Every structure is written in C-alpha cells, then in structure tokens.
Amino acid sequence: MKSKILATAAILVALGCMNPHPALSQPATDGGVKPGFWQPQAQIDNTRNITLKLLNETGLNLEYGQSGVGLSSLPVGASKSVVVRISNRTGDIANIPINVAGGTTTLKYDYNVDSQNNTVTIRITTSDGRTRQDRSVYIDEKGRVYSF
C-alpha cells in the first residue's frame, strides 16, 4: 500500500515538472504589461546597428563591458557611445553590464530612444536601494531593451 502511494506521488511530481512554464524574463503572453523587472524598458529597431549612449550621472566612477570585450572605464560625468553591430545570430543581441567597481552602489538606468538614429540614451544614476537595482542593459533578438 505504501509503495502505491509513493509511486503515485512520484508520478504526479514528475508530471508537474514536465509542464512548461514561461521564464520570468519573457514579456506577458497576453500582450499586456505585468509589473516587474521582466518588462522591456524600451524598443529599438533590431534590423540596424544600435548606438547606446551611456551617461554617467552618479558622481562615481563606473565600469562597463560589452559582449566579448573586457571592462572599460566610465568616469564621473562622462558619456560613452557603444555601437552594437547587428549580426545574423538568433540569440540575444547585446548584454552590457554597467556597475560601480566592486558593485558597492546600486544603480538605476533611465532610457530615451531616438528611433530615427536608432540610438538609446541611458542615463545612469544611483538608486536609493528601495527602488529597482540595475546591473546590465540587455537587448533581445526582437529589439526589446531590458534592465537586469
């Protein structure tokens, strides 16, 4: 009797694990907006090269990276342009980490899109710790821009 109950429980657990669940980073399947970090912050044209303009308004020295390239410095009050070249990859287009060295301060990114030039301006400020904490700008294959 005990083995039948255990076998039934094991089968139910296995069936529950096989049921597909959407990942948290995906947009809502019904097309609506659901609050959370997984919502895109901006939309760009993914058929053209993209320019990300980073504005350091934190009062701190920052470092940023680019897919496949080491970290670069983003001094206090400086701005840097990062060009994301479009390729025929089917995965993500870009993942740009932007942080204070050592990750000691939480940051917040604000986005402004110039669709004519396909430029995303990212204003980087400090966060009070109670609001969102951004660590990376991520652009997916559909041109959606996220903060993670």
CA 103 to each of CA 58, 126, 140: distance values in angstroms, whole numbers, following the listed order: 13, 12, 24
Residue boundaries of the structural domains of the chain: 41-147
CB 43, CB 113: distance < 8 Å: yes
Average pLDDT over residues 102-111: 83
Q: How does pLDDT run across 40-93, given as a tens digit for each residue?
A: 888 999 888 999 999 999 999 999 987 667 788 999 999 999 988 876 555 667
Q: Is 3.30.70.520 the CATH classification of the domain at 41-147?
A: no
